[in-house]
Structure 1
Amino acid sequence: MWYVILSVICSVSVGILLKIAKRYQLNIFQIISWNYSVALSFTYFLFNPQIKESSGSLPLELLISLSILLPIVFLFQNTSIKHTGIVKTDIAQRLSLFIPIIASYFIFQEHFNSYKIVGLIIGFSAIFFTLFKKSEIKNSPSKLLYPILVLLGFGIIDTLFKKVATSSNVPFTTTLFFIFCGAFVVSLLILIYKVLFQKEPIKFKNCFWGIGLGILNFGNILFYLKAHKALSENPSTVFAGMNMGVIVLGSLAGILLFKEKMTKRNYFGIVLAIISIICITLSQLKQI
């Protein structure tokens, strides 16, 4: 579970960095683009990926899918926040947990014991209570498309990374190198489009923020994949533990760092999330 905890810390830190960057009116997508170049460099120099030896055995369908989805889902996320708000977008991202959990049962043939079932039920309830805020935002059907795309995007990414982690043909660090490489190329193409057609100037201060984001993003994905390696027989433990952990730590960061107001429902949701994580952890220790 240590890999899950480290991944959660990196994931929440990414959100904190982006929120601070938004306060300084920085270009979020330029930061995201540079972040992939940094993550790519870390993967190359720290893990010495077997580029030539593995080029013929790469899971191309996974590589291409993740290379496109990683930067594109960031765009969906930003657009969703713009049109429907942070709350609905965050709910959509956390509800993406349903997709990999369903995949764990139907695709990866994982056995669910009673602790895990109870933990998941409590966890899904925690998502609602933790993120619930009184709001009367009215959205048109077209605007509601964006949080739906966020939900589907993050859910599919989680499931695809599970397949990457359990693939035995190529070391996962080598596959991760090619994924970062592909994501950087895709984000670079989008950035070029924005510069040429939307006249967005490139500012080097975004590059420095991208370095910090790249370090955190690299740690997030690396520990996430290592968690799946260590808990290969129980992928839902990683899926659920990651999502619930982000909710708890993210909520604490919002309260302590950004002074966000929390309702009694929110605090109740945090308690439920902690109970959910305990149940899911116990499911690793006991077979019922």
Structure 2
Amino acid sequence: MSLFYIAVSIICSLSVAQFLKIAETKKIGVFKILAVNYLTAFFISYASSSEKYDIVDSMAALDGWVYILAGVLGIIFIANLAVYSRSIDRIGMGISIAAMRMSLIFPIALSLWVFNESLVWIRYVGIVTAFIALLLMLPRFTKKKITGISDAWLPLLIFIMTGFADSGLKIYESVYSAEISEGLFLSGLFLVSFIFGMGVLIYRRDLKFSAIEIGYGVATGIVNLYSSIFLIYALQSMPGSVVFPIINVCLVILGTFVGIWFWNDQPTKKQWFGLLVAIISILLLVG
């Protein structure tokens, strides 16, 4: 079942990216979509939680660090997607993807050195091969130059926030999953994301939502929720040091083909070679 969980998480993550890509193309308010997305994810995850009928007792028994973890991750989740969207627009796809995909070093290091996960040597080779594949598959850097200090920080912010987000889910799975179900934990996380998003929109005085923004937000929220849920399921049945490289490499592979089919992207020879290396890395990691 581990590979099934990984596959569903990958498909959902790719769907989130495509919804945001379409929104950017149609000039729809991305931050409004993100706010509705997290409200939708909150309602669904809470409704599916086994503790929803005794929520007061369940929450009273929790370690205080669970609240801190959910709160911090909630802010990171929505901020990271907003920064990623801006980075693609201001700096370019190549640098932005590099920052996001290379951040998998955070959860891998956490899995190996903090939670002492053990791997056979061939999977270490697979991890190294996955990094090589990701570097090879990065798109061409755009000619748009970084225009200021604030823009220059965007790739670093993506790198750090994506790494922290994935690491936070790993911490939940390893330390707190016995205390609180993934449904209730994620509902709290998504509620924080929604509140933070609405706070930003209130500050901007931009609270008028169109029907298309709500529609895209609901659709994004459904797949966003299940990308996180099935990632947690995968982490419960397979080492994180294996799960994260597989997911990142597969996202780039599928993203490449979706780009060809729907966005008329033209991969370079280097990227096609990267796809081959990625397939090899996946075989090593799951072998």
The CA deviation at 1:10 is 0.6
Aligned to 2:185: 175
Gaps of 5+ in 2: none
Aligned to 1:191: 201
Aligned to 1:6: 8
Aligned to 2:214: 207
Report Cα offsets for 1:133-190 as digits up to 9, x if no partner: 2555543672221011001100010000011122222222211111111111111111
1-side partners of 2:232 and 2:57: how far apart? Answer: 21
SS in 2 for 1:26: coil
Aligned to 1:19: 21
1-side partners of 2:142 and 2:193: how far apart? Answer: 35
2-side partners of 1:38 and 1:211: how far apart? Answer: 6
Alignment partner of 1:41 out of 43, 56, 78: 43
Tell me if the contact between 1:39 and 1:217 (Cα under 8 Å) persists in the aligned partners. Answer: yes
Aligned to 1:264: 269
Tell me if the contact between 2:37 and 2:221 (Cα under 8 Å) persists in the aligned partners. Answer: yes
- TM-score scaled by length of structure 2: 0.91
- TM-score scaled by length of structure 1: 0.91
1-side partners of 2:117 and 2:148: how far apart? Answer: 36
2-side partners of 1:62 and 1:263: how far apart? Answer: 41
Amino acid at match of 1:153: M
Aligned to 2:257: 252
Tell me if the contact between 1:132 and 1:265 (Cα under 8 Å) persists in the aligned partners. Answer: no
2-side partners of 1:94 and 1:37: how far apart? Answer: 27
RMSD across aligned C-alpha pairs, in angstroms? 1.6
Report Cα offsets for 1:89-138 as digits up to 9, x if no partner: 11111011111111112211112321111101111010111114255554
SS in 2 for 1:257: helix
Alignment partner of 1:157 out of 162, 165, 177: 165
Tell me if the contact between 1:17 and 1:213 (Cα under 8 Å) persists in the aligned partners. Answer: yes
1-side partners of 2:181 and 2:5: how far apart? Answer: 18
The CA deviation at 1:21 is 1.8
Alignment partner of 2:57 out of 53, 56, 66: 53
CA spacing shift, 1:154–1:107, aligned 2, 3 Å: same
Amino acid at match of 1:154: T
SS in 2 for 1:47: coil
Alignment partner of 2:78 out of 59, 71, 75: 71
Aligned to 1:216: 223
Gaps of 5+ in 1: 283-288
Paired residues, number: 277
Alignment partner of 2:120 out of 78, 99, 113: 113
1-side partners of 2:82 and 2:24: how far apart? Answer: 15
The CA deviation at 1:53 is 2.4
Tell me if the contact between 2:93 and 2:139 (Cα under 8 Å) persists in the aligned partners. Answer: no
The CA deviation at 1:204 is 3.0
1-side partners of 2:148 and 2:27: how far apart? Answer: 29
Tell me if the contact between 1:228 and 1:235 (Cα under 8 Å) persists in the aligned partners. Answer: yes
CA spacing shift, 1:200–1:185, aligned 2, 3 Å: closer
Amino acid at match of 1:178: G
CA spacing shift, 1:228–1:148, aligned 2, 3 Å: same
Amino acid at match of 1:2: F
